[in-house]
Copies of this chain bind each other. A is one copy, B any other.
Amino acid sequence: MTFIGKPLEAIDTPALIVDMHKLEENILRVHRATFDAGLDIRPHIKSHKTPEIAQMQVRAGAVGITCAKLGEAEVMATAGIEDIFIAYSLVGETKMRRLVALAKRTPRLSISAESLEAARQASSAFDAAGIELDVMIEVDVGAGRTGVQPERAVAFADQVAEMPALNIVGMMGYASHFAYTRRGEAALAEGAAEEGRVIGEIAGDLAAAGHEMHRISGGSTPTAGRYQEGCGLTEIRSGSYVFYDRNQVDLGAAPMEQVALSVLATVVATPTPERAIIDAGTKGLSQQVGSVSDGYGWLPEVPGAKVVRINDEHGFVDVREAVRPLEIGEKVQVIPARGPTCVNLYDWLYAVRGGVVEDAWRIAARGRNT
């Protein structure tokens, strides 16, 4: 049976839903603000893993896309995306063989470089294949995740530049500490500016040492659409702005009305007047990451109802402060704490417009985690 053309409530639950109008608006708004600042946008697709959405982003002016996993990039290349950046350290023989094969069928492919070991492996593999690979020097700009330490950036780039098959085309940093520690419009705009200053300064050092800086890449979702002209970056990699989620709302990145993603769930039990149980738990809503928001799910149509606890297959909705009780069999939309980990649990994404199912998209890069 198909759900297309039917009301949202016809979908069997739990199911992942995207509001098409909000999705389109989110893409247009963030892209327009980025273009107005004279910057490129190269969205990270790990948030949605869905070729149809990547294609919407490209049609809305994205210069290309960013992937974390080689498996995601393979899916997106097959879907016809022509400019792909893999912002992830790829190491090992299997990964190198797959990377060369991908490069041969992708018009513009680039990867990040942050260790001599990984860079040498890539250079050898591409040299043997007789082709070259564009690389972005990854610098740890303070988030303490991956990337060479800033004081080693120039020396590292000098060594990469010596490798026969690699072309340095720019640098990248991930500055979550300038985004996820801030709350509200002014603080997020200041975070975007600080990120641009820090990354731009290191890019300046690299350029002064003779390395081409065609692309200076940053970005995260709370700061998406908040980068200014001359900020020090040329390219923004934000991704979750397509959907937003409760964490982003609580950070002040977007109002609740702009959240495009929800889980459609059914109330399966109302064992006590205080508690309703829905059929989405850790395997349908995911745990939140970090501690931005207090809870696991929010019911926008039933203000006051909140998922306060989750087991594998059960969501515990506290209805004590809800505007009305929930009834067994009722279908409810639930806003997740964090979108990307929630999307990663589903095989299908239902595109809904005005309460009617418009399309069902395979989340084709889900599970492509190697």
Q: List A residues at the B interface (Cβ < 8 Å).
A: 12-15, 46, 68-69, 88-92, 94-95, 114-115, 117-118, 121, 140, 144-149, 266-272, 275, 277, 279, 282-284, 286-289, 310-314, 316, 328-329, 340-341, 344-347, 367, 369-370
Q: Which residues of B sit under 8 angstroms from A268, Cβ to Cβ? A: 88-91, 118, 146
Query: Nearest 10 CB-CB pairs, A to B?
Result: A287-B287, A89-B268, A117-B328, A68-B313, A12-B94, A12-B370, A91-B329, A146-B269, A347-B367, A283-B344
The CA-CA distance from A144 to B316 in the complex, in Å, is 9
Partner of A314 from B145, B287, B340 at Cβ < 8 Å: B145
CB–CB B344/A345 < 8 A: yes
> Least Cβ distance of A68 to chain B in Å?
4
Please, which residues of chain B bring their CB within 8 A of the CB of A266? 91-92
Taken together, the copies of this chain in the complex come to 2
Cα–Cα, bound, A341→B287 (Å): 10
Max chain B C-beta neighbours (<10 A), residue from A314, A316, A369? A369
Q: Which of A283, A289, A310, A313 has the most CB of B within 10 A?
A: A283
Q: Which chain B positions have C-beta within 8 A of A68?
A: 312-313
**Which residues of B are found within 8 Å of A118, using beta-carbon distances?**
268-269, 328-329
A313 contact set on B, CB distance < 8 A: 46, 68-69, 88, 369
Q: Are A140 and B329 in contact (CB under 8 A)?
A: no
Q: Is the CB of B275 within 8 A of A341?
A: no
Residue of B117, B146, B282, B288 near A329 (CB, 8 A) is B117
Nearest CB in chain B to that of A174: its residue: B311
B271 A149 Cβ-Cβ under 8 A: yes
Q: For A145, what are the chain B residues with a Cβ–Cβ distance below 8 Å?
A: 271, 277, 311, 314, 316
- A369 with B284, Cβ < 8 A, contacts A91-B329, A314-B146 known: yes
A-B pairs with beta carbons under 8 Å apart, 27 shown:
A12-B94, A13-B92, A14-B370, A46-B312, A46-B313, A69-B313, A88-B313, A89-B268, A90-B268, A91-B266, A91-B268, A91-B329, A92-B266, A118-B269, A121-B329, A140-B271, A145-B277, A145-B316, A149-B272, A282-B286, A286-B287, A287-B288, A289-B311, A289-B312, A312-B341, A346-B367, A346-B369
